[in-house]
A and B are shown apart, each in its own frame.
Chain A
Amino acid sequence: MSADERGGAPPVGGVGGPAAGSSIGAGPGAAAGAVAAGTAGAGAGPGAAAGEPLFVLPPELAIDTDVARQVITAFIRGQLRQAGFERAVLGLSGGIDSALVAFLVAEAIGPGRLLAVLMPYRTSSPASRADAEEVVRRLGCGSRLVDISPIVDGYFGRDGEPGAGGEEALDASPLRRGNLAARARMLVLYDQSVVFGGLVVGTGNKTEGLIGYTTIFGDAACAFNPIGDLYKSQVRQLAAAVGVPEAVIRKAPSADLWPGQTDEAEAGFTYHELDRLLYWMVDRRRSDDELVAKGFDRATIERVQRMVAGSEFKRQVPPIAKLGPRTAGIDYLSPRRRPGSTRP
């Protein structure tokens, strides 16, 4: 999703778009060996080079998108039903993650029960907003535009005029500004969730979750997350299957911090390379030496491991000092929804 630096990936100040990868033809689910690549279903999107694959899909990450759709839409319905809600709210950035979740929620409960909130900052890319509006148009869901500039500028100040954060905040780093913007969006979403009567749906993917490229209590805040166990490559595969606009799938993932910024240039590797590495490292428990034997670069392995280890705290509930006989999350263990916990 979203539009901000997350304070996880150390900036590597690269330039240019993501490497294209060694992708050749073939559809999702192609046989192992080569890197499979999705191809455009409908007409090519704006700026798409003819014949260029829609996305790069490492074969070991290929999923059965029909099963994924079935599981995820039932998951969304189940989460809402167990909580006693019928509606959902999400932040729509114009990127692929939130677009995919919007499509899945609309499929699960109908577009009339989904509110997409567009929350640009004054420097956000107008193209992102146009992409988000196109998603809203295609789905026919409700939408709301909330400009978060007054919230963010109200704290950091603007044009030399200090805000609530005082003089010092005028010179805040992009990291601080990005994190605060992500948390401002969280504030807006949770307020809109009350107005609309819907649960906030998370839109973070597994790749950014594992490397910690998220803002804790910001874009990571949600009632439930339908795509948090899908790597970015799998998000792309599923997005193509459910009909997310091709332009949204094709554009380089970006936190939209400054014009032309892309996640991949900033991180220094492509998502499909990172996804493969995380898959073998985390899901398939391969050791460093085994990863090197599989062709991964040792320095990259070590860097990614530091990112994963350094962001463990973002993936867990904060620890409570154990004092009493029974402590939430330690030895008071209840399902989060149980008899009596549904809203009356």
Chain B
Amino acid sequence: MQPLRIALAQLAPRLGVLDENLERHRALLAEARAAGAGLVVFPELGLTGYLLQDLAAEVAMRADDPRLAGLAAGTDGLSAVVSFVEESADHRLFIAAALLEDGRVRHVHRKLYLPTYGLFDERRFFAPGEALRAVPSRLGVGVGLAVCEDFWHLAVPALLALDGAQVLVNVSSSPGRDLAAVHEVGLGTAASWRTLLRAYAQLTTSVVVFCNRVGVDESISFWGGSEVIAPSGEAVLTAPLYEEGLFVGEVDLADVRRERISLPLLRDERPELLVRELDRIVAERAGLAPDATAEPGAWP
């Protein structure tokens, strides 16, 4: 038994009020530590609020910002994932998630997929990340970070698992929408996410951790419902919808090994096949090779 207690800080950040949000993170970090958590996860842009628009540049921090280092200083003996607006040396702004461990900033993941459709306008204000890496952690297993929309692209959880992650962490600011009685828990967004998270846990035979914020930015209400899913696809912890709080669940990391022995999907994965086929598809989409599935009359 390698129990890992995971605390999900399902908070409602104040839009653009960095100091107050930092203070709230510190307080919840201490609360999680007191609850015996080994991993504490905060939501996407938990340090800044989501609907920043032109405020993004005003709340941006570099990865070496003393305020971030100050937060990291509170992570002796535990791991935390926090999210903020990161400014690169060449002044691009990213939606970032950082793994803080043992007093240090261990890894920064820059959101790869910036939704700019429907109610989203992220690409207008942010640059997309260019890299995806699983990283070793003090938890004894590899950890993979992703931000919200990253999980609406199949390749992201697949690549993180192939790269060695056994715990996949997604931090989100997911706006609730499609309120309808036909959906599980009455909300289309929540029903979709629940399906994705269970499928990813099962398909990657990993622990999937999802922390989604609550609260209101302008018209948008964020629905919470943060979860921890075991490698079997079963939910270990499901936080309530729309309720602020610190929610704690426990997983047995040995379950990852057990699941991967009995269901060796990752063993049987064929990355070389993926690369080959992706190379072909990329060439076809670029018009460099004939596309067998193209509709007649349509340009590629």
List residues of chain A with CB under 8 Å of any chain B CB: 28-29, 32, 60-64, 66-68, 70-71, 74-75, 77-79, 82, 332-339
Contact = CB atoms under 8 A, between A and B. Distances in A.
Contacts of B179: 63-64, 67-68, 71
Nearest to B223: A71
28 contacts: A32-B182, A61-B180, A62-B180, A62-B181, A62-B182, A63-B179, A64-B179, A64-B181, A64-B185, A64-B187, A66-B186, A67-B187, A67-B242, A68-B179, A74-B214, A75-B216, A78-B216, A78-B221, A82-B15, A332-B54, A333-B53, A334-B54, A335-B16, A337-B218, A338-B15, A338-B16, A338-B55, A339-B16
B51 A335 contact: yes
B215 interface: yes
Interface of B: 15-17, 51-55, 176, 179-183, 185-187, 214-218, 221, 241-242
A184 to B, nearest CB: 28
Contact of A67 (B16, B185, B216): B185
Contact of B181 (A29, A74, A79, A338): A29
Contacts of A28: 181
A334 B221 contact: no
Contacts of B185: 64, 67
B216 A335 contact: no
Contacts of B216: 74-75, 77-79, 82
A98 B93 CA distance: 43
Given A66-B186, A67-B242, 4 more contacts: A60-B180, A62-B180, A62-B181, A335-B53
Contacts of B55: 334-335, 338
B180 A63 contact: yes
A244 B55 CA distance: 41
**B179, B183, B214: most-surrounded residue (chain A CB, <10 A):** B179
Interface centre among A32, A67, A77 (most CB of B within 10 A): A67
Contacts of B15: 82, 335, 337-338
A63 B188 CA distance: 11
Question: 8 closest pairs, A vs B, by CB?
Answer: A64-B186, A78-B216, A67-B186, A62-B181, A333-B53, A29-B181, A338-B16, A71-B221
Contacts of A67: 179, 185-187, 241-242
Contacts of A334: 53-55
A63 to B, nearest CB: 5
B180 A335 contact: no
